[in-house]
Chain A
Amino acid sequence: MAEDLEVIIKKYKQGRREDLIPLLQEIQSATGYLSEEAVVRVGSHLGLSTTKIYGLATFYDQFRFFPAGKINIRICNGTSCFMNGSQAVIEKFREELRIAPGQTTRNGNFSFDIVTCMGGCFHGPVVLVNGEYNIRLRPEQVPDLIKRLKYIIEND
C-alpha cells in the first residue's frame, strides 16, 4: 500500500495546492479509503498541515476514512426513489446491517451509502450492489438480498 501511495504521489510532482483533491481521489480509488498514513504523507508532499487536509476531506462526501465493506451497497434516495418508498428500504438496511449510511460492519463485509439519483427513476427504489442494479426493491425483499450477499461472501 505504501508503494501504491508513492507511485500516485510521484504523478503529482509539482505538489500544488490544486492537486490536493485529485490526489486524494486517486489514493482513495486505489486503496479504498484515506488512511492516516496517506493523509500525513500527502501533507508532507504538498506542504500542508494534516488538519487542513482532514478539514477538506471531511467537508466532501466522497472521502472515507475507513475501508468500505467487501460489498458496498448504494441506495438511491433521489426524488423519484423517495416517492416510491426508498426511506423504508434505507431503514430496513440500517436495521438488518446495524450500521448507519457511510459506515462499515464490524466484520468488514458490508457498507452502505446513500446517493441522490442514479437515473433509474421509473424503476425506483434502485439499489446498486456488486455492479448489479436491484430495481423496485421492497423493504421486505431486503433480508433475502442480504442473505444472498452473505452467501456470496462466504463462498468467495
Chain B
Amino acid sequence: MEDLKTFLIQKVLLFESDTLPAETDRVLQQVRRDKTDVAVIHVSSNTSSLIAGADKTYNSIKSYIEDNEPDSVLVKVGCVGPANYEPVVCVQLPGKNKLFFRNITEEKVEPLLNGVFHNDINNEDLLGQVGSKGFGLWPGIPFMNDLPFFARQKRVVLGNCGCYDPESIEEYIARGGYRTFIKTIRHYTYEEVCDIIERSGLRGRSGGGYLTGLKWKQALNTSSNARFMICNAKESDPGSFSDRTILESDPHRLIEGMAIAAYATGASSAILYLKCNSGHARERVQTAIDKAREYGIIGHNIYSSGYNLDITVRIEPGAFVCGEETALINSLEGKRGMPQLKPPYPTASGLMGKPTVINNVETIMNVPLIMQNGPEWFRSIGTEKSPGTKIFAITGRGRMSGVVEVEMGISLKTILDEIVDGIRDGKEFKAIQLGGAQGMFITNEYLDTPVDFDEMRSRGIGMGAGGFVVIDESTCIVDMVRYYMEFIRNESCGKCIPCREGTGRMLEILESVIRKPANEESGTTLERFKGVMQLETISTVMKDASLCGLGQTAPNPFVSALKNFREEFEEHIFDRKCRANVCRGLRTFIINVEKCTGCTVCAGKCPVNAIYGTRLQPFFIVEDKCTGCGICFDVCKFSAIIVK
C-alpha cells in the first residue's frame, strides 16, 4: 500500500508531461481494475440504492462469491443515474465488456450470478453493456449509451459517478484525478486560473447564473490578509438530491474542484457546508478529505508549491434559509442563519468580514474539467451564453427518475419525452416543476423552452438548482401549492414581515380552499374566492418587500399555478371538487348499495356519526354530516364505499 502511494505521488501526480509512460499506465490499469484476470462486480451504494436494498444485495453477492468464485472482486461504487433501476449491479468478466443489471434485489443475486459465471447472461434484468477498446463484445446486447435514458444525456460532470469506488483515492488518481490541481498550483498564478474560468463562461449552477470566474476575481481583487472559499452543499429543497449523489459518488473531484477554487481566489481555508442528515455523503466526503490529506494534496506547502490549504466540513444545523449565502455565513459565524442586506457581497466582506467565495457543488465539479481540457473545450458544449451541462434530479411521476446530466440548450420536452420516457401508468401529463419549493409550474405551452439561463429567464422561468418534478393528473395542483407553502412557512427565518406573515396567511387561505366550509350559508364561497384574490396581492407584496430570495420567490408556485390552472382553483372553491381526488376535505363518499353487506363496521368507526342503517341492510352516508375523513373508506372490507 505504501509503495503504491509513493508510486502514485512520484510517477503520476508529480509527472510533468500530460501523457504518462506506458509502463506507468499499466500499473494504473491494475488500480482502475480495467484489465483484470478475475471477474469484477460493482454494486451501487449511494443512498437511493441503499433505500432500494443495495446493502442486502452486497452482502448476498459477497457470500455468493466467497462460496463459489473466491477470486472475484466486489466493489462498492457510486450511482450510475437511474434511481428506479436501483440496486444496479455491474459485472465485468475477464476481457469482456461490462454488463449492467437492474433491480437486483437480494433474492435475484444467486440466479443472476449462476448465469453470468456460466456465460448465460440471458436475464430479464439485463440493461446493457458498456465497452471500451480491447474488450470482448457481447453480441446482441444493447450498449448503455444507446438506451434512451442515456442517449440524450451528456455525462461530463457525472462522468466518474458509478465508475469507481468513491472511498479509494488511488482509483481517482489512476483515473487522472488531482493531476490538474497539482499542475494548476505549480504552473498557474491565481489570476490566470480566474481568467481561464472566466473565459470558459462557466456560470453559477445554483440558479442565479452569475459568471464564476468574475466572482472569483472580485474576491481576489479585494485586498485582505485572509480569504475563504465555501462550497455550498446545502441542498435542502424537497425532492432534490443531485448534490448528494455527486458527493456520494465522486467526492474526490469535488475536493479537487474546491482546492482549485480556493487556490484561484487566494484562500487558504475552504469549507464544505453540508446538509445535516445527509446520509452517507458526510462519511464519504470526510474519508475523501482524510485521504487527500494523507497524500499531501491538502495541507501545508502542497508539493513544494508554497501554497497551503485546509478543507473542513461544517454541518448545517437544519434551516432551509441557510442556503442563501449571507445566511450561510451567519450560521458559520455561530449566529442565527438570517440573510443580510446585499451589498456588501460576500466577495467583498463575507465570513469574518473577509472576502469569501461561495459556489454550489455542481459549479465546483466543472472546475477541474475546465482546467484539464481548457476553456475552449467547455465553450464547445452547450449554448453560447450558457456553456456546459446542467444536472437535474428527476423525481415525481415520470417513468424514469434519477440524476441526469444534459447539454445546455436541450429543450425541456426532450428531457421529458426521451430521458424521462413519459408518464408512469399511462397517466396524463400535467406540468413539470423546476427548482424546488420556489419554482414555477411549466405546462405544455412552455415545454419547448431550452435549458439555458437567459432563454429561461426571458420566459420568466427560473432554472433552479436542479429539481425536476414531473407532475401528472393524479396530483392536485392546489394541494401541491399548499405543500410548498407549508414548507416555506416552516422555513421562513422570520426576519422580514412580508415573508414571515405572508407565508402564514397564504397557507391559511390555501388550506381553507381545500376544505369544505363549516357553514354553507354566509356567503363563504365568495369569501374564499376573495381569499384567492388576496393571495395575489400578498404575492406581489412579498416579492417586492422581502430581503432574500426565499421570501421573494416564495409565491412563485402559487403565481404560476394560478396562471396555468385557474380552473382547478375555481373548481375547488365553487364546485367543492378536487379533480385529482387528493384533497381529503373535499371528498364525499357514497355507499354502493349492491356491495354493502350491512356489517356496521363503518358506522361504528365514523367519528361524526354520519353513517346510518339497519344491520345486514345496506347503509347510507349523510352527506351534510360527512367530513370526508375517509375512515369508512379505509375500514370497509367489501370496497363498498366509493369516492364521489
> Which of B244, B336, B483 makes the CB contact (< 8 A) with A119?
B244
Q: Chain B residues near A116 (CB, 8 Å)?
A: 236-239, 487
Q: Chain A residues near B46 (CB, 8 Å)?
A: 119
A24 to chain B, nearest CB (A): 8
Interface locus among A3-11, A13-21, A103-111, A144-152: A13-21
Cα(A108)–Cα(B336), bound, Å:
30
Interface locus among B30-38, B395-403, B406-414, B457-465: B395-403
Cα(A115)–Cα(B318), bound, Å:
10
Query: Any chain B CB within 8 A of the CB of A63?
Result: yes
Q: Chain A residues near B317 (CB, 8 Å)?
A: 21, 24-25, 60-63
Q: Mark A83-111, 1 if CB is under 8 A from B, else 0.
A: 10000000000000000000000000000
Given contact pairs A83-B396, A121-B241, A17 touches B333 in the complex (Cβ within 8 A):
yes
B284 to chain A, nearest CB (A): 13
Q: Are B48 and A117 in contact (CB under 8 A)?
A: no
Q: Chain B residues near A62 (CB, 8 Å)?
A: 276, 317-318
Q: Are B471 and A83 in contact (CB under 8 A)?
A: yes
Query: Any chain B CB within 8 A of the CB of A120?
Result: yes
Query: Any chain A CB within 8 A of the CB of B279?
Result: yes
Q: Are A133 and B51 in contact (CB under 8 A)?
A: yes
Given contact pairs A20-B334, A83-B471, A120 touches B277 in the complex (Cβ within 8 A):
no
Given contact pairs A116-B487, A135-B52, A122 touches B315 in the complex (Cβ within 8 A):
no
Query: Any chain B CB within 8 A of the CB of A118?
Result: yes
Q: Are B84 and A122 in contact (CB under 8 A)?
A: yes
B562 to chain A, nearest CB (A): 19
Q: Are A80 and B84 in contact (CB under 8 A)?
A: no
Cα(A4)–Cα(B337), bound, Å:
28
Q: Are B337 and A59 in contact (CB under 8 A)?
A: yes
Q: Mark B240-269, 1 if CB is under 8 A from A, else 0.
A: 110011000000000000000000000000
Instruction: Mark out the residues of chain B between 376 and 423 whose CB falls within 8 Å of any chain A CB in the assembled complex.
Output: 393, 395-397, 401-402
Q: Are A120 and B396 in contact (CB under 8 A)?
A: no
B278 to chain A, nearest CB (A): 9
Query: Any chain A CB within 8 A of the CB of B50?
Result: yes
> Which of A21, A118, A139, A140 makes the CB contact (< 8 A) with B331?
A21
Cα(A133)–Cα(B319), bound, Å:
24
Q: In chain A, what residue has the closest Cβ to B245?
A: A119
Cα(A45)–Cα(B469), bound, Å:
47
Given contact pairs A62-B318, A119-B48, A55 touches B245 in the complex (Cβ within 8 A):
no
Cα(A63)–Cα(B397), bound, Å:
34
Q: Chain A residues near B318 (CB, 8 Å)?
A: 60-63
Cα(A53)–Cα(B332), bound, Å:
15
Query: Any chain B CB within 8 A of the CB of A70?
Result: no
Given contact pairs A116-B238, A121-B395, A140-B634, A82 touches B52 in the complex (Cβ within 8 A):
no
Query: Any chain A CB within 8 A of the CB of B356?
Result: no
Query: Any chain A CB within 8 A of the CB of B368?
Result: no
> Which of B241, B314, B483 makes the CB contact (< 8 A) with A117?
B241
Q: In chain B, what residue has the closest Cβ to A139?
A: B634
| Highest count of chain B CB atoms <10 Å: which of A56, A82, A117, A139 | A117
Q: Chain A residues near B475 (CB, 8 Å)?
A: 83
Instruction: Mark out the residues of chain B between 194 and 249 whose CB falls within 8 Å of any chain A CB in the assembled complex.
Output: 236-241, 244-245
B507 to chain A, nearest CB (A): 14
Q: In chain B, what residue has the closest Cβ to A85?
A: B582
Cα(A22)–Cα(B315), bound, Å:
8
Q: Chain B residues near A126 (CB, 8 Å)?
A: 51
Q: Chain A residues near B469 (CB, 8 Å)?
A: 79-80, 83
Q: Please report the total number of A residues contacting B with Cβ < 8 Å.
A: 37
Query: Any chain A CB within 8 A of the CB of B129?
Result: no
Cα(A82)–Cα(B634), bound, Å:
19
Q: Chain A residues near B51 (CB, 8 Å)?
A: 118-120, 123, 126, 133, 135
Query: Any chain A CB within 8 A of the CB of B644?
Result: no
Q: Chain B residues near A115 (CB, 8 Å)?
A: 277
Cα(A59)–Cα(B240), bound, Å:
23
Instruction: Mark out the residues of chain B between 65 and 96 whose CB falls within 8 Å of any chain A CB in the assembled complex.
Output: 83-84, 86
Instruction: Mark out the residues of chain B between 104 and 125 whose CB falls within 8 Å of any chain A CB in the assembled complex.
Output: none
Query: Any chain A CB within 8 A of the CB of B335?
Result: yes
Cα(A121)–Cα(B395), bound, Å:
6
Given contact pairs A80-B239, A119-B51, A123-B52, A22 touches B314 in the complex (Cβ within 8 A):
yes
Cα(A77)–Cα(B236), bound, Å:
12
Cα(A80)–Cα(B393), bound, Å:
11
Q: Mark A44-80, 1 if CB is under 8 A from B, else 0.
A: 0000000000011001111100000000001001111
Q: Are B83 and A121 in contact (CB under 8 A)?
A: yes
Query: Any chain A CB within 8 A of the CB of B555?
Result: no
Cα(A55)–Cα(B338), bound, Å:
13
Q: Are A25 and B333 in contact (CB under 8 A)?
A: no
Q: Are A56 and B334 in contact (CB under 8 A)?
A: yes
Cα(A55)–Cα(B493), bound, Å:
12
Q: In chain A, what residue has the closest Cβ to B314?
A: A22
Q: Are B238 and A117 in contact (CB under 8 A)?
A: yes
Given contact pairs A22-B314, A119-B51, A80 touches B395 in the complex (Cβ within 8 A):
yes
Q: Chain B residues near A16 (CB, 8 Å)?
A: 334
Q: In chain B, what residue has the closest Cβ to A26?
A: B315
Query: Any chain A CB within 8 A of the CB of B47?
Result: yes
A121 to chain B, nearest CB (A): 4
Q: Are B83 and A79 in contact (CB under 8 A)?
A: no
> Which of B83, B333, B395 makes the CB contact (< 8 A) with A18?
B333
Q: Are B467 and A55 in contact (CB under 8 A)?
A: no
Q: Chain A residues near B352 (CB, 8 Å)?
A: 18
Q: Are A77 and B319 in contact (CB under 8 A)?
A: no
Q: Are A77 and B238 in contact (CB under 8 A)?
A: yes
Q: Chain A residues near B86 (CB, 8 Å)?
A: 122
Q: Chain B residues near A121 (CB, 8 Å)?
A: 48, 83, 239, 241, 393, 395-396, 401
Q: Chain A residues near B84 (CB, 8 Å)?
A: 122
Q: Are B401 and A60 in contact (CB under 8 A)?
A: no
Q: Are A120 and B47 in contact (CB under 8 A)?
A: yes
Q: In chain A, what residue has the closest Cβ to B86?
A: A122
Q: Are A60 and B337 in contact (CB under 8 A)?
A: yes
Instruction: Mark out the residues of chain B between 462 and 513 whose CB falls within 8 Å of any chain A CB in the assembled complex.
Output: 467, 469, 471, 475, 480, 483, 487, 493
Given contact pairs A25-B315, A79-B239, A121-B241, A59 touches B336 in the complex (Cβ within 8 A):
yes
Known: A59-B337, A61-B319. 15 other contacts (CB 8 A): A22-B314, A24-B317, A60-B319, A62-B317, A63-B318, A78-B238, A79-B238, A79-B436, A80-B239, A83-B397, A116-B487, A117-B239, A120-B48, A120-B52, A122-B395
Write the residues of chain A forming the contact surface with B, with a CB cutoff of 8 angstroms.
16-22, 24-25, 55-56, 59-63, 74, 77-80, 82-83, 115-123, 126, 133, 135, 139-140
Contacts A/B (CB < 8 Å), 21 sampled: A17-B334, A18-B333, A22-B315, A24-B317, A56-B335, A59-B319, A63-B318, A77-B238, A79-B239, A79-B395, A80-B239, A80-B396, A83-B471, A115-B277, A118-B47, A120-B47, A120-B52, A121-B241, A121-B395, A122-B48, A122-B401
8 smallest beta-carbon distances between A and B, as pairs: A79-B239, A120-B51, A61-B318, A62-B318, A60-B317, A20-B334, A121-B395, A80-B395
